[in-house]
Chain A
């Protein structure tokens, strides 16, 4: 079947198997391997992307269900040569180690700040509950998100 969507600002149409998951579509058809796969039960959030501005675990959705949607992956977050404020905040606060959960975590964090622009620490922790990290113990991720919320550039945008 044919699916059409806008990925990181570029529209594309591809012929795919109906059962193809959005994450596999993004990685294998669109060639955007920044979105990682960390589990098979929609538990870990490594594959989180934005679909029409909302964070979605792209393993929970078929490519066909994203037909007509606007999808943003980690590759679409930076503005030219400048990283997004959330990416900068993760670097500044050492919010990543191996980096595997990071694209999904960053996308979830961007979405979180869109919903709650000035979250408390507890709100950040609850807001990121669907994204697992095995390296950082979350401490610095939480610091990064709280700092991004205070950044002037608006990390939720």
Chain B
């Protein structure tokens, strides 16, 4: 099936549970996040934000604000409109996609609550916020477009110049006739309408930016809480009209992102432009409630999915129609998010006919964009909920309907009906392991017992067999999807004269532990200690090339680049060793950090010695450049496709509607694991974000477009008390896409978990005849569903 071995680790470092080198600085408070940086003379920015979802702005009066103590300057959108270009959207998914101009400060009209209309700069953060509160803005309200399906009717058009709220319609319809024929001839059909509520990413570190200009030198250093320092540098140059060579972007310690810091934000552009204008450092740090509105949100879709199946429940076609909420404007990759799921609504199943379409609409709400999984949790939710519906329709267990439809292991690489080539998989293996770990049959027996006894607290068992495409991404595939950039990653590995190794990576970690993992990859190949490998990143002056961290790409693309650069270093070292030992390269062995002559092991040169020789350059082979260093820019030939099966067990109190997650069993396969400790951590955190969508989190808007859940008082990020410990396991099916056989794992847990939990809740309630619960499955929703079912029966 694949040329890559399971567990390729030759050096014994890759595959070990090495503790993270990042931790001591983070555990002791030494780490510096953007908000921790102090530069003398810094001006603090505070933004005046719209309180109306949709309104004409008839007056912005900053005179009172300007008179407040400590205020240095105030600006309206009109004051600055010639200082910048609209904020960038890098993913025009169709040639005719409609995209409104999105200025960092709105001029004349606001389109969501939180849309910035003015900015105040003061000598302290307290003074800036006080002054922003003193700004007087007059709004002439317009009807707000809040509901996604209502938006598509164009009853009220938000951006008049566009003439419609529909940004684009994108279709993947390789053979519509085949889909129609499959439905016409189906023994069983099921359909579902699922709502993906909006989610607030809620990285624990709010966003922040500090721009330090050198007015006479002409350079700008931008410190930002970002996942994408490299992309940000390019986009800031274009948006603010500053030479790219004059910009240095640094992402210092970054406190989580989950996609929300994969963007180019109004505040980042504004801080740069204001630092240029005022010739002073400018700093802005987001408040949590502010961020609920000014940082992108995730999800926001209404999904219609239909399955056609034969009498045994084997799927013959999948048909999907979704409406996706863009929010008020298109941020960096907003329109592309539904496309990242568009290919995956057939799930892990062997589906012969497929049809997908997405209608993307504007609403008077905060823009959406990438949030952990980005399109793939939505797709997985729809197909995994529909699979349970199909199991019920056919009258078989949810595990059985999946077994009947899995793509078999021998079918890989598998060309999907949607046009992808899945790299490797063993879906049945993961399901079998997960059901064994969960004690699936005993759980079903306990469920039957409680149901028979009519107990108040029923249990539900939910299964989700997920997979996803990640490791973004082959540049040519991105081109075919109209994405404006590539998906490569770069790395440099240099062995310093003292034998220590320096790795420069284009990834931008913000909690993933790349410093540890990249050092492990290099140490493993070079046969040295990871402690001798330093990893540099997230500063465009040190790591000039990079495509940053998102889409579970860092290991599969960036880690592979590190691996390949290490190979190049070894090749060069081999040339030098052969030259100095006066043997042919083929006669050299490399082990434990040294080259030796085969058959004469006492003739040897350690890597450190070769590095010093390369540094002095006294005796190198003719034509070989000095120094032991190599770089790569690696463009992956394919995505990677991690997969697994998750089983959730819930208890539902049928009198109160309260749902309690009692067990969670996850078997994930991300190919070979560089550091299982880190893999498990990614899975744990991912699971809780998916569970949170299933049970608690919801960005609730009222009919006027006000965000009602704008703080942690109302937006229910779970605490330790709400979730159990997890039972995790893994299978290892290496990816043939890269030489280490690795797949991404950062989003897998989130992708697998929401459908597992909702399937469990619905399973617990199936005795009432309940077939669906809208997320989040709050006690009220569950209680109402039970009541409605009881009333319908009586």
Contact of A132 among B20, B30, B713, B717 (CB under 8 A): B717
- A87 adjacent to B204 (CB under 8 Å): no
Which B residues lie within 8 Å of A125 (CB)? 719-721
Residue among B29, B512, B723 having the largest count of chain A Cβ atoms under 10 Å: B29
9 closest cross-chain pairs (CB), A and B: A34-B29, A99-B26, A100-B255, A98-B511, A43-B712, A137-B684, A33-B36, A137-B688, A97-B511
Distance in angstroms from B370 CB to nearest chain A CB is: 15
Which A residues lie within 8 Å of B287 (CB)? 40
Which B residues lie within 8 Å of A139 (CB)? 684, 725-726
- B256 adjacent to A134 (CB under 8 Å): yes
Contact of A90 among B23, B30, B32, B684 (CB under 8 A): B23
Which A residues lie within 8 Å of B202 (CB)? 134
- B289 adjacent to A41 (CB under 8 Å): yes
Contact residues of A between 85 and 105, Cβ < 8 Å to B: 87, 90-92, 94, 96-103
- Cα distance, A91 to B28, chains bound together (Å): 11
- B30 adjacent to A91 (CB under 8 Å): no
Q: Mark B678-693, 1 if CB is under 8 A from A, else 0.
A: 1011001111110000
Known: A41-B288, A98-B205, A125-B721. A136 touches B23 (CB 8 A): no
B333 adjacent to chain A (CB < 8 Å): no
Contact of A102 among B26, B713, B725 (CB under 8 A): B26
Which B residues lie within 8 Å of A135 (CB)? 204, 256, 511, 681, 685
Contact of B712 among A91, A92, A98, A132 (CB under 8 A): A132
Which A residues lie within 8 Å of B725 (CB)? 121, 139, 142-143
Which B residues lie within 8 Å of A133 (CB)? 204, 720
A7 adjacent to chain B (CB < 8 Å): no
Which B residues lie within 8 Å of A128 (CB)? 719-721
- Cα distance, A100 to B749, chains bound together (Å): 21
Count of residues in B whose CB is under 8 Å from the partner chain: 55
B22 adjacent to chain A (CB < 8 Å): yes
B24 adjacent to chain A (CB < 8 Å): yes
- B24 adjacent to A38 (CB under 8 Å): no
Which B residues lie within 8 Å of A113 (CB)? none
Does more than half of chain B's interface fall in helix, strand or loop, or is it mixed?
loop
B677 adjacent to chain A (CB < 8 Å): yes
B278 adjacent to chain A (CB < 8 Å): no
- A17 adjacent to B36 (CB under 8 Å): no
- B255 adjacent to A98 (CB under 8 Å): yes
A124 adjacent to chain B (CB < 8 Å): yes
- A97 adjacent to B685 (CB under 8 Å): yes
- B717 adjacent to A134 (CB under 8 Å): yes
A106 adjacent to chain B (CB < 8 Å): yes
Which A residues lie within 8 Å of B685 (CB)? 97, 134-137
A130 adjacent to chain B (CB < 8 Å): yes
B788 adjacent to chain A (CB < 8 Å): no
Which A residues lie within 8 Å of B453 (CB)? none
Which B residues lie within 8 Å of A136 (CB)? 681, 684-685
- Cα distance, A34 to B510, chains bound together (Å): 17
- A99 adjacent to B712 (CB under 8 Å): no
B487 adjacent to chain A (CB < 8 Å): no
Q: Of all chain B residues, which has the CB nearest A143?
A: B725
- Cα distance, A39 to B685, chains bound together (Å): 20
- Cα distance, A32 to B28, chains bound together (Å): 11
Distance in angstroms from A43 CB to nearest chain B CB is: 3
- B723 adjacent to A138 (CB under 8 Å): yes
Q: Mark A114-157, 1 if CB is under 8 A from B, else 0.
A: 00000001001110111111111111111100000000000000
Which B residues lie within 8 Å of A75 (CB)? 28-29
Q: Mark A6-41, 1 if CB is under 8 A from B, else 0.
A: 000000000001010000000100001111111111
- A94 adjacent to B681 (CB under 8 Å): yes
Residue among B31, B289, B680 having the largest count of chain A Cβ atoms under 10 Å: B31
- A92 adjacent to B27 (CB under 8 Å): no
- Cα distance, A146 to B681, chains bound together (Å): 17
Which A residues lie within 8 Å of B721 (CB)? 125-126, 128-129
- A99 adjacent to B22 (CB under 8 Å): yes
- Cα distance, A101 to B189, chains bound together (Å): 47
Which A residues lie within 8 Å of B713 (CB)? 41, 43
Q: Of all chain A residues, which has the CB nearest B728?
A: A139
- A138 adjacent to B511 (CB under 8 Å): no
Q: Of all chain B residues, which has the CB nearest A102?
A: B26
Residue among B19, B687, B719 having the largest count of chain A Cβ atoms under 10 Å: B719
Q: Of all chain A residues, which has the CB nearest B37?
A: A33
Q: Known pairs A74-B27, A100-B205. 8 more at Cβ < 8 A?
A: A33-B32, A78-B28, A91-B24, A97-B685, A130-B719, A132-B717, A133-B204, A138-B720
B258 adjacent to chain A (CB < 8 Å): yes
Which A residues lie within 8 Å of B510 (CB)? 98
- A98 adjacent to B256 (CB under 8 Å): yes
A77 adjacent to chain B (CB < 8 Å): yes
B203 adjacent to chain A (CB < 8 Å): yes
Q: Of all chain B residues, which has the CB nearest A74?
A: B29
- Cα distance, A96 to B512, chains bound together (Å): 10
B182 adjacent to chain A (CB < 8 Å): no
Known: A77-B28, A91-B24. A137 touches B687 (CB 8 A): yes
Which B residues lie within 8 Å of A34 (CB)? 28-30
Contact of B33 among A41, A83, A100, A126 (CB under 8 A): A100
B711 adjacent to chain A (CB < 8 Å): yes
Contact residues of B between 714 and 749, Cβ < 8 Å to A: 717, 719-721, 723, 725-726, 749
A64 adjacent to chain B (CB < 8 Å): no
Q: List 15 A-B contacts (CB under 8 A).
A: A17-B126, A37-B35, A38-B206, A39-B711, A43-B712, A97-B256, A98-B510, A99-B25, A125-B719, A126-B720, A129-B720, A132-B712, A134-B256, A136-B685, A137-B688
- B726 adjacent to A91 (CB under 8 Å): no
Contact residues of B between 22 and 76, Cβ < 8 Å to A: 22-33, 35-36
A73 adjacent to chain B (CB < 8 Å): yes
Which B residues lie within 8 Å of A19 (CB)? 126
Contact of A38 among B19, B204, B720 (CB under 8 A): B204
Residue among A99, A124, A133, A137 having the largest count of chain B Cβ atoms under 10 Å: A137
Distance in angstroms from B330 CB to nearest chain A CB is: 26
Which A residues lie within 8 Å of B275 (CB)? none
B254 adjacent to chain A (CB < 8 Å): yes
- B29 adjacent to A32 (CB under 8 Å): yes
- A38 adjacent to B288 (CB under 8 Å): yes
- B256 adjacent to A92 (CB under 8 Å): no
Which A residues lie within 8 Å of B206 (CB)? 37-38
- B27 adjacent to A38 (CB under 8 Å): no
Contact of A83 among B27, B35, B288, B711 (CB under 8 A): B27
Residue among A32, A100, A101, A134 having the largest count of chain B Cβ atoms under 10 Å: A134
